[in-house]
Every structure is written in C-alpha cells, then in structure tokens.
C-alpha cells in the first residue's frame, strides 16, 4: 500500500499560481529534483486537469478522459487535438515539461494559443514554450520539515529533528529518510527507546548525507572539469601517463552522470 503524504507549506507559491490562473496566464514551476514539484501540481490540480507531458498520445488521452470526450474514431493526435479544441477551455497542470518532445511541445503551444491556461513543472525552463510567470520552489524551512515528518510519521523527536536538519528541506529526502527510520523501527532493527541505538542511527544518517554530497553533481562535475584542465599541465610537463589517467577519470565522471540522468 502506497502511503499518502500530507502536503505542507508553499502557501505563497499557491497564491501566486492561483492568481495567475484567475488572470488566465500560463505559469512555469521550476525546482531541483525532489523539491516537490509533482506534489505541488497535484495539490492544486483540482482547479483543472493534471497530466504528464509525455508520451504525446497519453497527454491527449489524459485531457480527453478528464473532459469526458469519447476517443472512439480518433485515430491520431491531430484528430484528438481538434476534438479537444471543440470543448470549453480548461486549466492544464502538465508535469515533467522539460522532458516534453517536439510533438508534445507543439500540442501544448497549440492548446495555450487556443485559450487553455498551462501550469507546468520541470527542473529547468523548456525551449520553445513561453510562460508569463515563472515560480521557483525552494527548500522547506526547518519548522516546515519537522511539521511534514510529524504529520506523516510517528518517530522519536530526536530522529525527527535529525531528519529535518540532514534532509536540507528537500521533501524527497525527508520522505526517504523518514521511511527508512519508520521501517527500521517496525522491523526491530532500531529500538526507539534505546538512546544509544538512536544516536548511532543519527550518526549513520549524517554519514550517508556526507557520502551523497560527495557523489553529487554540484561537487563532482566541477572537479571533473578541473581534472581536464590539469591534464594539459601534466602534458606540458611531459607526464603523459598521469595526464591520460586524469583525463580518463574525468570522462568516467561525465559518463556516470550522463547515465544516471538517463
């Protein structure tokens, strides 16, 4: 059974989006991975239709289903789009906009130009789609993080505070760490009444966070570029083997992040 997480915070951002919708202006929600863009869209999507930007056919099918349009006889995306445009304009909450392909972008622009209000979310601003307003989701505050954990989990206060601090206000990190603590307690691996076990668990959480920082793109990618620059210095000093190994290590880092992104 999937646990339903209660939505916390974002009051200012919600007010900005609703104000834009009332003025029939399209909005882009941006934020880093795990910051809560999907949860944010779903929380306000009662004002319209929630769907993902791809695949293109599924985007149109989701809109048609919500608008109660019969798909019978609509064999391609052009016919589906034409049928949608015969009905009343809606607000579309489109997730993962930065993954939209050319066909999806063309359809979204068509819908926007025909009077549909588009509220989209993505890690970065997509090309070829203009939004009237752009709103960035940032990390939750410490108090909001604590409230999020306490609203969804029954955990010792010391673990709640540690997770809120270590997770840096990123909802996905908060949920993952809280689930880990919950499962550890329920499985008997962690005794919530044993202070030594709790302290050891918190120390392990902190160590895990340090390791994740060392493996993050913000740390490793600049280091890889530095290694590429260092390669030329080593070549200049005729230390070709060290230069080759340095460049190889840098390219391996680039390949790692390229594959992880895929």
Domain boundaries along the sequence of the chain: 11-136, 142-214, 217-261
pLDDT at residue 213 is higher than 60: no
Tokens 């206000």 -> residue: 169
From 33, 45, 36, select the one nearest 10 (Cα to Cα). 36
As a whole number, mean pLDDT of residues 143-169 equals 92
Per the prediction, the chain carries an average pLDDT of: 87
Strand partners, 122: 30
Task: Assign 26 to helix, strand or coil.
Answer: coil
216 confidence band (pLDDT: 50, 70, 90): low
Question: Confidence band (pLDDT; 50, 70, 90) for 260?
Answer: low
Residues 63, 64, 69: CA angle, nearest 5 degrees: 155
Q: Is the pLDDT of residue 220 over 90?
A: no
Pairwise CA distance, residues 230 & 243, whole Å: 7
Q: Which residue has the tokens 């985007």?
A: 59
pLDDT at 190 over 90: no
How many angstroms separate the CA atoms of 176 and 34, rounded? 10
- pLDDT at position 214 is 53
Please indicate whether residue 245 or residue 212 has the higher confidence score (pLDDT).
245
CATH class of 11-136: alpha beta
Query: SS3 of 120, please?
Result: strand
- The beta-strand segments (E) located in the chain are 27-30, 49-52, 91-95, 117-122, 133-136
Mean pLDDT of 12-19: 93
pLDDT tens for each residue of 37-67: 999 999 998 889 999 887 888 999 999 999 9
pLDDT, mean of residues 71-89: 90
Tokens of 248: 């190889």
Compute the distance between CA of residue 185 and CA of residue 217 in angstroms, rounded to an integer.
Answer: 32
What does the pLDDT read at residue 192? 83
Q: Which two tokens stand for residue 208?
A: 């895990």
- Provide the pLDDT for residue 81: 93
Q: How far apart are CA 50 and CA 104, in angstroms?
A: 15
Report the range of poorest mean pLDDT among 19-28, 132-141, 201-210. Answer: 201-210
pLDDT confidence band for 155 (50 / 70 / 90): very high
Query: What pLDDT score does 212 carry?
Result: 65
Q: Closest by alpha carbon to 111, among 137, 126, 91, 141? A: 91
Averaged pLDDT for residues 126-148: 92
d(Cα 134, Cα 122) in Å, to the nearest integer?
11
Asked if residue 55 has a cis previous peptide bond (ω within 30° of 0), the answer is yes
């Amino acid at each position: 059974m999937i646990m339903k997480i209660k939505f916390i915070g974002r009051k200012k951002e919600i007010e900005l989006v609703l104000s834009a919708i009332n003025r029939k202006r399209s909005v882009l929600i941006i934020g880093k991975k795990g910051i809560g863009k999907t949860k944010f869209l779903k929380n306000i999507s009662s004002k319209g239709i929630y769907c993902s930007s791809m695949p293109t056919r599924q985007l149109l099918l989701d809109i048609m289903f919500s608008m109660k349009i019969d798909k019978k006889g609509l064999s391609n995306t052009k016919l589906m789009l034409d049928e949608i445009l015969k009905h009343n304009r809606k607000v579309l909450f489109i997730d993962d906009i930065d993954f939209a392909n050319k066909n999806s972008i063309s359809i979204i622009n068509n819908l926007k130009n025909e009077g549909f209000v588009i509220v989209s979310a993505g890690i970065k601003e997509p090309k070829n789609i203009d939004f009237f307003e752009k709103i960035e989701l940032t990390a939750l505050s410490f108090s909001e993080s604590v409230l999020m954990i306490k609203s969804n989990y029954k955990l010792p206060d010391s673990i709640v505070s540690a997770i809120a601090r270590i997770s840096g206000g990123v909802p996905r990190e908060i949920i993952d760490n809280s689930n880990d603590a919950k499962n550890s307690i329920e499985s008997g691996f962690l005794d919530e009444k044993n202070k030594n076990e709790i302290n050891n668990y918190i120390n392990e959480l902190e160590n895990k966070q340090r390791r994740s920082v060392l493996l993050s793109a913000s740390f490793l990618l600049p280091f890889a570029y530095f290694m590429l620059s260092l390669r030329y210095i080593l070549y200049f000093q005729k230390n070709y083997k060290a230069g080759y190994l340095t460049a190889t290590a840098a390219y391996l880092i680039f390949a790692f992040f390229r594959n992880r992104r895929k």
